Homo-oligomer: A and B are copies of this chain.
Amino acid sequence: MVPKRFRSIKTEIRVLGIDDGRFVPRTKGTVEVVGVVYRGGYWFEGVMRTEITIDGMDATEKLAIMIKNSAYYGEIRVIVLDGVTFAGFNVVDINELSCRVDLPVMSVAREKPDLEEIRSALKNLPDFEKRWQAMLNAGELFEVETRNGENPVYVQTAGFLREDAVKILKRTSTRSNIPEALRVAHIIASGLSPSIEKI
């Protein structure tokens, strides 16, 4: 997707943060994925969910369907993912996702991804080439200090000008070093995972 240029970034820009729930690695089955819509860094606006296959190939497709079917689709301006690997090694192709939903997408990781380690792991799975290509499609990884004096995050983007991505990250990381929509998506996806129920 040709990078979208933001003429101005509103304080209440609608951000969709997406994260997956807990699961037992290398098992079969699906994992809950939760999307949370925030107005900027302050106001919870909505929620959506889907399921993707553990170590499967359906993450990009399922996220695109979830987003386009959501009642919030028309309002969302930016999508923020927790990294590009979901449910184990179900790799999201952020370029393809960006094209399919016609919105800029960024992946944000708190730890610097070790690409060589991921590459080795992917080799143990079917469709290695396709998965690795999706990893490469995410493009250059860059570091952003979202909050002064706190740990940086590691970002890849599709359909963004880097300067816009950085501005949006800084503006929406109000409570931690990641956008509030992503922080809350993580809490909900982990807290409500039915597969590893505590109650």
A197 to B188, CA, bound (A): 18
Select the stretch in A38-46, A149-157, A165-173 that faces chain B: A38-46
Instruction: Answer yes or no: A198 CB below 8 A from chain B CBs.
Output: yes
Select the stretch in A47-55, A86-94, A136-144 that faces chain B: A47-55
In the complex this chain forms, how many copies of it are found? 2
Q: Mark A172-199, 1 if CB is under 8 A from B, else 0.
A: 0001000010011001100110000011
Contacts known (A43-B175, A44-B44); A50 close to B199, Cβ less than 8 A: yes
What total of chain A residues lie within 8 Å of the partner, measured CB to CB? 23
Who on chain B is nearest to A45 by CB? B187
Q: Do the beta carbons of A191 and B46 come within 8 Å of each other? A: yes
Q: Select A199's contact among B47, B49, B199, beta carbons within 8 Å.
A: B49
Q: Select A188's contact among B47, B66, B183, B199, beta carbons within 8 Å.
A: B47
Q: Do the beta carbons of A199 and B46 come within 8 Å of each other? A: no
Instruction: Answer yes or no: A65 CB below 8 A from chain B CBs.
Output: yes
Q: Mark A10-44, 1 if CB is under 8 A from B, else 0.
A: 00000000000000000000000010000000111
Instruction: Answer yes or no: A69 CB below 8 A from chain B CBs.
Output: yes
Contacts known (A184-B44, A187-B46); A66 close to B199, Cβ less than 8 A: yes
A47 to B34, CA, bound (A): 13
Determine how close the nearest CB of chain B comes to the CB of A199; give it in whole angstroms: 6
Contacts known (A66-B199, A199-B66); A49 close to B191, Cβ less than 8 A: yes
- Which residues does A use to contact B, with CB under 8 Å? 34, 42-50, 65-66, 69, 175, 180, 183-184, 187-188, 191-192, 198-199
Known: A44-B183, A49-B191, A49-B199; 17 extra A-B contacts, CB below 8 A, are A34-B192, A44-B184, A46-B187, A46-B191, A47-B187, A47-B188, A47-B191, A47-B192, A48-B191, A48-B199, A49-B192, A65-B199, A66-B199, A69-B198, A69-B199, A188-B188, A192-B192
